[in-house]
Structure 1
Amino acid sequence: MSCQVQSLWEAYKDFFPIGAAVNAETVKTHEELLIKHFNSLTAENEMKFSSLHPQDGVYEFKDADLIHDFAKRHNMKLRGHTFVWHNQTPEWVFKNEDGTSVSRDLLLERLKAHVHDVVKRYGNDVYCWDVVNEAVEDKTAQYLRDTKWLEIIGESYIQKAFEIVNQAAPEAMLFYNDYNECVPEKREKIYKLVRTLKENGVPIHGIGLQCHWNIFNPSFDEIQRSLEKYASLGLKIQITEMDISVFTFEDQRRDLTEPTAEMIEKQASLYAKAFKLFREYKDVINGVTLWGVADDKTWLDDFPVRGRKNWPLLFDVEHNPKEAFYRIVQF
């Protein structure tokens, strides 16, 4: 990577922080890119419940500490991700010793203890938290996703989670985070949920829009429409997990060993349009995070098609800037 390339975060210093999702490996292997181009970090998995608290009374902070220490050493912001999710929550959280389901009160007590222990360790070094992640159903007309949190606590689990985290971290910004945020049917559900929380006086400060897109979907009109809809709630918005796949979700191809010129151009064009829109909403958007650093390490490798490579980020497999990078820094 040329030292002459403009720094991404410096290009956006008058707009919003630029973040990357990292893990215990990539803070080492992608250190140069991270230091030069990003001023915010999110732990990809290391701060999720199952990573930090795999067994009752047992915490494993090593990998999360590594990311925390890297961010602090390089004067980067640190996002916390995530306290309440239907995935990556260990079974012990929901079970009694005899294997029966815990009571509502015990589950809330366990969540509270977990939140307080994690916040006590990292304090105000984590400036915001994704408190609840992906609580809205997107495959059916159902409103909330069926989860053990919902089953045991009821719909109030979302409100309770925000209240618990706010009590433990009163200075942190608290976000509801979700994907498919530009799909009209799901957009209405996310809007309804956040509006209801706000109207009920719940301490929620923002909406996290994951923005896992591809070069064909969503349409830019839907992206604009969605951002306007969420902005109308009067809360902050963060782009929390952005990447732009070169394949649609339904595309099952495995034959490509590198992206085509058409894919590179479509990807660059959408990144450019999106970041232009983000800049226009800089009074509302207070953070943009990419879900990864460079194309050599991305969660979209093997998903949804096993054995397939994807190229969704701003830097290629050799850590060189892609066309999309140049389009978003040259504005």
Structure 2
Amino acid sequence: MKRKKIIVALLCVCGITTGITACKNATARTEVVTLKDAYAGKFYIGTALNERQIAGKSEEEMELVKKQFNAIVAENCMKSERIHPKEDTYNFALPDKFVAFGEENGMWINGHTLIWHSQAPAWFFEDDQGNTVSREVLIARMKDHIHKVVGRYKGRVHTWDVVNEAVLDNGELRKSKFYEIIGEDYLKLAFQFAREADPEAELYYNDYSTAIPEKRAGIIRLVKKLQDEGITVDGIGMQGHVGLDGPAIEELEKTILAFSGIGAKVMITELDLTVLPSPWERTGAEVSADFKYSKEMDPYAEGLTDSIKRQFDERYTHLFRLFLKHSDKITRVTFWGVNDGNSWRNNWPVRGRTDYPLLFDRNNHPKPVVDALIQMTR
């Protein structure tokens, strides 16, 4: 009788132990793995923060950022027209909050952008009478702007997009106000001033449509010329504003290899995937483009079809397969927005459309492709 009791007791203990082990295994299987955890050791997973989010008015979205991302970039509040609207006025309130949020959550912080022809205040280029300033005046204003902005966050902002979109699709330099007044030297000076302001920060050149062969070649000419003049460009940002059909994965890969081939780190800086038809035969991100709304250009206002959802998932999977293949060259993949609802794609190049370009929907729920991207790392 005693022996039977002992056997029964042992079976009970074994059953309890087995049950505990099974529970532990089930817990391990259902444990939520986030994007930033899945890609740790490969590259940072980043997102752009808009002004409402930075101001603390989108708590749910910010919780999503903390959970899924480990790198951030300011979508607008660090651009010169916002941070420096008048010659004697700097607005650091939101940039300060942006940097503090990144520090509090151990994130890789990117400053965007110091010199850009768009969203630059008119006063940069004019005197009190509205006349175009001299070369010397604009250089002094550039230096003051870069030194004050970069200097304020010295040792805190890890990387800066020093110059944004200076090369046209044909590979020629854009004839911006900076170019017209200063000449090509403005590019060299911008990087020089940023390096003076923070010798430890990584300095980048950033542009869209980098998969276009002519533009790719133009960017390489620009960076190599700067290198030959003794200017260090730490990395090149490939803005990832893509569509379902283009640019081709093969051309994106050529760009990654070409940029890394001249000693530059590579970042995918503004990733989003539009599912909407384009009103023009271009795949770029020229912000000045503006087309009239029509229902034909807004076919998914009530939701996506199953076919488009499949194409969306496949396209993101192909992109991330490429990024993983070259994870030794790519340091960061940053999405241009947190969820579909706050993406600029809803209003560019046609205002008032409904687009679905990001990994999280308008309710901050992950799309099915998120799990697929996580599984790719295992």
Q: State the TM bucket, normalised to the shorter chain.
A: over 0.9
Measured in 2, the distance between the counterparts of 1:51 and 1:254 equals: 31
Alignment of 1:75-86 (within 5 A): 75-86=106-117
Taking every aligned residue pair, what percent have the same amino acid on both sides? 39
Residues 1:295 and 2:340 aligned together: yes
Measured in 2, the distance between the counterparts of 1:60 and 1:48 equals: 11
User: What is aligned with 2:212?
Assistant: 183
Alignment partner for residue 134 of structure 2, among 103, 114, 128?
A: 103
Deviates most, 274-283 or 155-164 = 274-283
User: What is aligned with 2:314?
Assistant: 269
1:9-29 deviations in Å (ceiling 9; x for gaps): 011111111110002212442
Secondary structure of the structure 2 residue equivalent to 1:123: coil
Secondary structure of the structure 2 residue equivalent to 1:316: coil
User: What is aligned with 2:230?
Assistant: 201
> One-letter code of the match for 1:88?
Q
Measured in 1, the distance between the counterparts of 2:341 and 2:78 equals: 22
User: What is aligned with 1:112?
Assistant: 143
What is the TM-score with the length of structure 1 in the denominator?
0.95
**Is the CA contact 1:211–1:242 (under 8 Å) kept in the aligned structure 2?**
yes
Residues 1:147 and 2:191 aligned together: no
User: What is aligned with 2:193?
Assistant: 164
> One-letter code of the match for 1:253?
M
CA drift at 1:255 = 3.2
Alignment partner for residue 254 of structure 1, among 283, 289, 298?
A: 298
Measured in 1, the distance between the counterparts of 2:94 and 2:162 equals: 20
Secondary structure of the structure 2 residue equivalent to 1:96: coil
Aligned residues: 327
1:279-331 deviations in Å (ceiling 9; x for gaps): 22222111111000111210001211222110000111111111221221111
Deviates most, 166-175 or 115-124 = 115-124
User: What is aligned with 1:317?
Assistant: 362
CA drift at 1:205 = 0.7
List gaps (5 residues or longer) in structure 1: none
Measured in 1, the distance between the counterparts of 2:369 and 2:211 equals: 21
Secondary structure of the structure 1 residue equivalent to 2:205: strand
CA drift at 1:119 = 1.9
User: What is aligned with 2:35?
Assistant: 8
CA drift at 1:105 = 1.3
Alignment partner for residue 245 of structure 1, among 249, 255, 274?
A: 274
How has the CA–CA distance of structure 1 residues 210 and 175 changed in structure 2, closer, same or farther, with 3 Å as cutoff? Answer: same
Residues 1:235 and 2:264 aligned together: yes
What is the TM-score with the length of structure 2 in the denominator?
0.83
List gaps (5 residues or longer) in structure 2: 1-29, 281-295
Residues 1:23 and 2:67 aligned together: no
CA drift at 1:142 = 6.4
User: What is aligned with 2:155?
Assistant: 124
CA drift at 1:250 = 2.8
1:205-244 deviations in Å (ceiling 9; x for gaps): 1101011001111111212222222221121011110111
Measured in 2, the distance between the counterparts of 1:133 and 1:142 equals: 14
1:141-169 deviations in Å (ceiling 9; x for gaps): 46111110000000111111101101111
1:84-107 deviations in Å (ceiling 9; x for gaps): 101111011111112211111111
> One-letter code of the match for 2:318?
K
Residues 1:174 and 2:187 aligned together: no
**Is the CA contact 1:45–1:51 (under 8 Å) kept in the aligned structure 2?**
yes
User: What is aligned with 1:59?
Assistant: 90
CA drift at 1:204 = 0.9
Alignment partner for residue 48 of structure 1, among 74, 79, 87?
A: 79
Measured in 2, the distance between the counterparts of 1:216 and 1:248 equals: 10
Secondary structure of the structure 2 residue equivalent to 1:287: strand
Measured in 1, the distance between the counterparts of 2:260 and 2:151 equals: 32
User: What is aligned with 1:223?
Assistant: 252
1:236-261 deviations in Å (ceiling 9; x for gaps): 01111011111243375223221222
How has the CA–CA distance of structure 1 residues 142 and 240 changed in structure 2, closer, same or farther, with 3 Å as cutoff? Answer: closer
CA radius of gyration, larger in: 2
Secondary structure of the structure 2 residue equivalent to 1:125: coil
Secondary structure of the structure 2 residue equivalent to 1:66: helix
Measured in 2, the distance between the counterparts of 1:42 and 1:106 equals: 30
> One-letter code of the match for 1:155?
E
CA drift at 1:195 = 2.0
Measured in 2, the distance between the counterparts of 1:302 and 1:99 equals: 32
Deviates most, 24-33 or 80-89 = 24-33
Measured in 2, the distance between the counterparts of 1:271 and 1:24 equals: 27
Residues 1:279 and 2:324 aligned together: yes
How has the CA–CA distance of structure 1 residues 172 and 144 changed in structure 2, closer, same or farther, with 3 Å as cutoff? Answer: same
